[in-house]
Structure 1
């Protein structure tokens, strides 16, 4: 890897991607950070927990096609798991083709598992923080229940009416998200609302606007064999970290993944919701570094 610390804009699989290298002086196996969303960015991570990790690890950030500071595809249909994996292969080539560790948060955790499944000889260790399974009905049920647990009594009644209409899980899920304002989303994602406000301020600083385009495209074109049915093929050592108050993906999804992986450990964060990296940063840093350096 012949790169110094800094920000790069490079063509990966035909799309101009934003890439940042930090902690290059540590000469560790590169730790590639994979953001969530789908459709998010790294702006918060690179200003909060990221610098704590790069004090002792070489950290590689990249933002997925159409996300953050990376280029959008010319065709709105050019979002799929196979394309995201091809983008990652190009990133590996750009980095020099050696083994890397992965840290994926939220949807990034799910994508990290897809990458590890596709590239078993290149991925060294895997760290997952609040991983999702976006094609799983269980994931949608976790969020539906999460919404019901944080809204006020008036909105709770409205949500119950939607449930009582006999709609499909997908219709209920979409209806709940259509009614969720910023306050409700922050309550869903965070236990500490002061941290939620700081996070949202940074989202706004970054000009993050998640249109839902990538999520809709990934939902429309699922893989023929769901990830949950392929997890047993992933043999890398994997650390799963989940906040006990995570109402977005939560303990049910992390336990499903933990149960299926052949070589994983699950660590719970007792003062966190969906972002333990923000609500318990010191424990997050220590847990990740201990796992990678063991």
Structure 2
């Protein structure tokens, strides 16, 4: 089911609802990209445990394109999540962010700590807190997949990317998946951002203030879970562990054999980790 609410600037924002029959408070799930939120699906069956509210970020999916492109900036998107919380009538909400969406979720928790119950960051982007990932780190992690038939072409494309020569992103795609099969190929295609303007403005100047975010998250009192995929080049386990260490007492989990979309690689392991954390 898709419903709508209004952003502070009047932009009409869509959000999908999964597991609507589930009792209790929902889990707001912020997608990455910025891309159509349909790629999250029901997060491997997490909707069997919690009602999921999955927003389409402005200018993606069924949400309107804003009049002001500057509102695509990551810190400005925090305002849209706050508008959604108000629309749902929640005093506080559990919040999940995936990939680039974790930057939004983390900034929301930093700005509104009293409005977040439990925070889950899945294979998170780390720009909001200034954690850098080097090309060497990505190449070393990629080496774990050297026995895969697709490895030579994918690794050559990765090396071109890390040298700043540009890259064939489709050739690099297998490194983001725990297994590279037809389902993974379809999912990678569906999860690609379709609004280049939204992508260009997401990380524009002023979008991130890592020192402030780090200070705020160091005082975040709510429970937090940060989940990494063992093979994820986008959010390597080392970087996610460093992110988790910024919180007073965050749980850190590495899902074995998983890539950037761990609910696809092993839905049972993913839902067990996340649903178990949320139920504590």
Q: Which TM-score band (shorter chain)?
A: 0.7 to 0.9
Give 1:28-177 correspondences, 5 Å limit: 28-37=24-33, 39-46=34-41, 49=44, 52-134=45-127, 136=130, 138-139=132-133, 141=135, 145=139, 149=143, 152=152, 156=156, 159=159, 172=163, 175=164
Q: Distance in 1 between matches of 2:257 and 2:197?
A: 29
Compute the displacement of 1:274 (Å): 1.2
1:143 and 1:249 in contact (8 A); partners too = no
In the comparison of the two structures, how many residue pairs are matched? 270
What SS is found at the alignment partner of 1:253?
Answer: helix
Residue 21 of structure 2 corresponds to residue 25 of structure 1: yes
Is 1:180 equivalent to 2:168 in the alignment? yes
Judging changes above 3 Å, is the alpha-carbon distance between structure 1 residues 275 and 253 closer, same or farther for their aligned structure 2 residues?
same
Contact 2:158 2:167 (C-alpha < 8 Å) held by counterparts: no
Cα root mean square deviation, aligned: 2.8
Query: Who is 2:278 aligned against?
Result: 292
Do the aligned residues in 1 keep the contact of 2:177 with 2:258 (CA within 8 Å)?
yes
Contact 2:72 2:201 in 1 (8 A): no
1:143 offset after TM fit, Å? 7.3
CA displacement at 1:212 relative to structure 2: 6.1
Normalising by structure 2, report the TM-score: 0.84
SS of the counterpart of 1:54?
helix
Q: CA deviation at 1:8?
A: 0.9
Question: TM-score with structure 1 length normalisation?
Answer: 0.81
User: Where do 5+ consecutive residues of structure 2 fail to align?
Assistant: 146-150
SS of the equivalent of 1:260 reads coil
Aligned partner of 1:168 in structure 2 is none
1:268 pairs with 2:268: no
Q: Distance in 2 between matches of 1:46 and 1:158?
A: 28
Q: Give yes or no for contact 1:131–1:249 (8 Å, CA) kept in 2.
A: yes
* Residues 1:158 and 1:217: Cα distance change in structure 2 (over 3 Å): closer
User: How far 1:69 moved relative to its partner?
Assistant: 2.0
| Structure 1 gap segments, 5+ residues each | 1-5, 164-171
Q: CA deviation at 1:119?
A: 1.1
Check whether the contact 2:13–2:62 (CA below 8 A) recurs between aligned residues.
yes
Q: Name the residue aligned to 1:191.
A: 178
**Cα distance, 1:229 vs. partner?**
4.7
The answer to which of 135-144 and 75-84 deviates more is 135-144
Tell me how far apart the structure 1 counterparts of residues 90 and 20 of structure 2 sit (CA, whole Å). 16
Query: CA-to-partner distance for each residue in 1:181-231, whole Å, 9 max, x for gaps?
Result: 3121x1231131114213135448xxx525264354424323344434543
Q: Is the 8 A contact 1:17 1:63 kept in 2?
A: yes
